[in-house]
């Protein structure tokens, strides 16, 4: 097997380029009409230390390649006629939009996003929420605010 092919196969088969973060305690403040990053304070797995536990939580890619990305963000303050967007930022701009909806009554809301992107070393991924009216918080429940990324293959 050619050296380059062997390196690709070994790197891919033993790669640790996968990260999952979630939030259990930090309650992120969401301002109206402002794209706001989702906090993350716990790593489920992060063998290559790509995740930054902060408000907002961020994953920074360390190797070029194709990746599956997923995020989940919640909003406590939903009232009737509030527009809400759940999306994923790639290097500070929208990469994949998951949901763009409006409430038909007062209720909590969770929106999720799943997509695939071609990323390069140093690229960042972040879960983001936007609401049209009112300020509120994320819900700080581990299943409701998550940020995930997994390497599919080399670019």
Partner 1 sequence: MDATELSAYSVQHNPWHAAMYNAATAQTMAVGGFVQATMDTVEFDPDGMVSGLGGTTAKFTIHQPGVYLICGAVTMAAVADGVRFCSAIYKSGGELARGLDTTPGTTTSIVTSSCAATTTCVNGDTIDIRGQNFTTNEAVHAGQQFVYLSIAYLGPA
Compute the distance between CA of residue 118 and CA of residue 135 in angstroms, rounded to an integer: 34
Task: Based on the shown chain and the rule CB under 8 A, indicate whether residue 108 belongs to the binding site for partner 1.
Answer: no
Task: Based on the shown chain and the rule CB under 8 A, indicate whether residue 83 belongs to the binding site for partner 1.
Answer: yes
Compute the distance between CA of residue 93 and CA of residue 87 in angstroms, rounded to an integer: 10
Task: Please state, as a whole number, how many other Cβ atoms lie within 10 Å of the Cβ of residue 33.
Answer: 9
Task: Based on the shown chain and the rule CB under 8 A, indicate whether residue 113 belongs to the binding site for partner 1.
Answer: yes
Contact in structure between 135 and 96 (CB atoms under 8 Å) = no
Task: Based on the shown chain and the rule CB under 8 A, indicate whether residue 87 belongs to the binding site for partner 1.
Answer: yes
In the complex, the smallest distance separating the C-beta of residue 26 from partner 1, rounded to whole angstroms, is 25
Contact footprint for partner 1 (CB under 8 A): 1, 5, 8-9, 12-13, 66, 68, 70, 80-83, 85, 87, 94-105, 112-118, 132, 152-154
């Amino acid at each position: 097997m050619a050296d380059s092919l062997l390196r690709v196969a070994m790197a891919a088969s033993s790669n640790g380029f996968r990260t999952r973060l979630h939030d259990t305690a930090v309650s992120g403040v969401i301002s109206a009409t402002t794209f706001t990053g989702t906090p993350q304070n716990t790593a489920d797995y992060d063998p290559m230390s790509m995740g930054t536990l902060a408000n907002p939580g961020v994953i920074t890619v360390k190797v070029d390649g194709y990746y599956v990305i997923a995020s989940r963000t919640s909003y406590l303050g939903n009232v009737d006629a509030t527009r809400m967007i759940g999306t994923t930022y790639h290097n500070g701009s929208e990469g994949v939009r998951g949901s763009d909806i409006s409430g038909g009554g007062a209720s909590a809301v969770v929106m999720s996003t799943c997509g695939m992107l071609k990323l390069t070393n140093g690229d960042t991924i972040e879960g983001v929420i936007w609401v049209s009216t009112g300020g509120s918080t994320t819900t700080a429940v581990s299943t409701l605010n998550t940020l995930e990324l997994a390497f599919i293959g080399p670019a």
